[in-house]
Chains A and B, each alone.
Chain A
Amino acid sequence: MFPYLGYAGKWLWVDLTEGKVESRDYDPLLAESYLGGNGFGTRLLWENVGPDVDALSPENWLIFSTGPLCGTVMPNPGRMEVVAKSPLTGIYGDANSGGFLGPELKFAGWDAVVLTGQSPAPVYLAIEDGQATLRDATELWGLTASGTEQEIRRLWGDALVKTAVIGPAGENLVRYAGIQITAQRSAARCGLGAVMGSKRLKALAVRGHGPIRIADPKRLSHLSLELQRRLLANPIFPAVSAHGTPGIVSLMNAMGRFPTQNFKAGGYENADRINADALYSRAFVRNVACFGCPVACDKVYQIPDGPFANTSLRSVEYETLNALGACILNDDLDALLAANRLCDELGLDTISTGRCISFAMELWDEEILNLDDTGGLPLRWGDMSVVLRLLPMIARREGFGNLLAEGVRRMSETIGRGAEQFAMHVKGMEIPGQDGRAQRSMGLAHVTSTRGADHLKAFPTIDETGYPDEGRRRYGADYLPELVQPLATKHKAFLVKDGEDFGAVIDSTGMCKSGGTFVLAEIYWPDIGAAIEATTGMSMSVKLLKEIGERIYNLQRCYDAIHGITRADDRLPRRFSAEPSPTGNARGQTIDIEPMLQEYYRLRGWDATKGWPTPEKLQTLGLGDVAACLWR
Chain B
Amino acid sequence: MHLETDTDKCTGCRICENFCALQHEGAIWPTRARIRILSQSDDGPFAPNVCRQCDDPACAAACPVDAIKPDVEAGAWVVGEECIGCQACLDACPHHAIFFDAQLGRAFKCDLCQGEPQCAASCPTGAVALVP
Contacts and interface: CB of A to CB of B under 8 A. Distances in A.
B28 A73 contact: yes
Nearest to B121: A225
Contact of B13 (A211, A289, A312): A289
Interface string A492-512: 000000000000000000000
A291 interface: yes
B39 to A, nearest CB: 9
Nearest to A6: B28
Interface string B22-63: 110111111110000000011111100000000000000000
Interface string B3-19: 00000000111110011
Contacts of B31: 107, 209-210
User: For chain A, which range describes its interface: under 10, 10 to 19, 20 to 34, or 35 or more residues?
Assistant: 20 to 34
A8 to B, nearest CB: 12
Contacts, number: 85
A212 B11 contact: no
A177 to B, nearest CB: 22
B124 interface: yes
A286 B41 CA distance: 13
B124 A214 contact: no
Contact of A213 (B26, B121, B125): B26
Contacts of B19: 73, 221
Contacts of A217: 22-23, 26-27
A211 B44 contact: no
The listed residue with most B CB atoms (<10 A of its CB), out of A71, A217, A228, is: A217
A165 to B, nearest CB: 14
Nearest to B9: A287
B122 interface: yes
A103 B18 CA distance: 11
Contact of A288 (B28, B32, B44): B44
A213 B13 contact: no
A210 B29 contact: yes
A80 to B, nearest CB: 16
A224 B32 CA distance: 20
Contacts of A211: 21, 25, 27-29, 32
A73 B29 contact: no
B124 A232 contact: yes
B122 A73 contact: yes
A605 interface: no
Contacts of B11: 286-289, 293, 296
B98 to A, nearest CB: 18
B23 A214 contact: no
A326 B29 CA distance: 44
Contact of A107 (B23, B30, B124): B30
Given A225-B121, A294-B124, A214 B44 contact: no
The listed residue with most A CB atoms (<10 A of its CB), out of B23, B27, B43, is: B43
A103 B29 CA distance: 10
Contacts of B15: 73, 292-294
Contacts of B23: 217, 221
A225 B28 contact: no
A221 B118 CA distance: 9
B42 A182 contact: yes
A381 B45 CA distance: 38
Contacts of A293: 11, 13, 15
Nearest to A76: B13
Contacts of B124: 228, 232, 294, 296
A107 B12 CA distance: 18
A238 to B, nearest CB: 12
A290 B109 CA distance: 26
Contacts of B46: 288
B44 A286 contact: yes
Contacts of A213: 26-27
Contact of B43 (A214, A228, A314): A314
The listed residue with most A CB atoms (<10 A of its CB), out of B28, B42, B45, B124, is: B28
Given A217-B22, A221-B23, A221-B118, A72 B43 contact: no
A211 B31 CA distance: 8
20 contacts: A107-B31, A182-B42, A211-B27, A211-B32, A212-B28, A213-B27, A217-B27, A224-B122, A228-B124, A286-B43, A286-B44, A287-B11, A289-B11, A290-B13, A292-B18, A293-B15, A294-B13, A296-B11, A296-B125, A314-B43
Given A209-B31, A286-B44, 18 more contacts: A71-B28, A73-B19, A73-B22, A73-B28, A210-B29, A210-B31, A211-B29, A212-B28, A214-B28, A221-B22, A288-B12, A288-B43, A288-B44, A290-B13, A291-B14, A292-B14, A294-B15, A296-B125
Top 4 nearest A-B pairs (CB, nearest first) are A294-B124, A289-B13, A211-B27, A211-B29
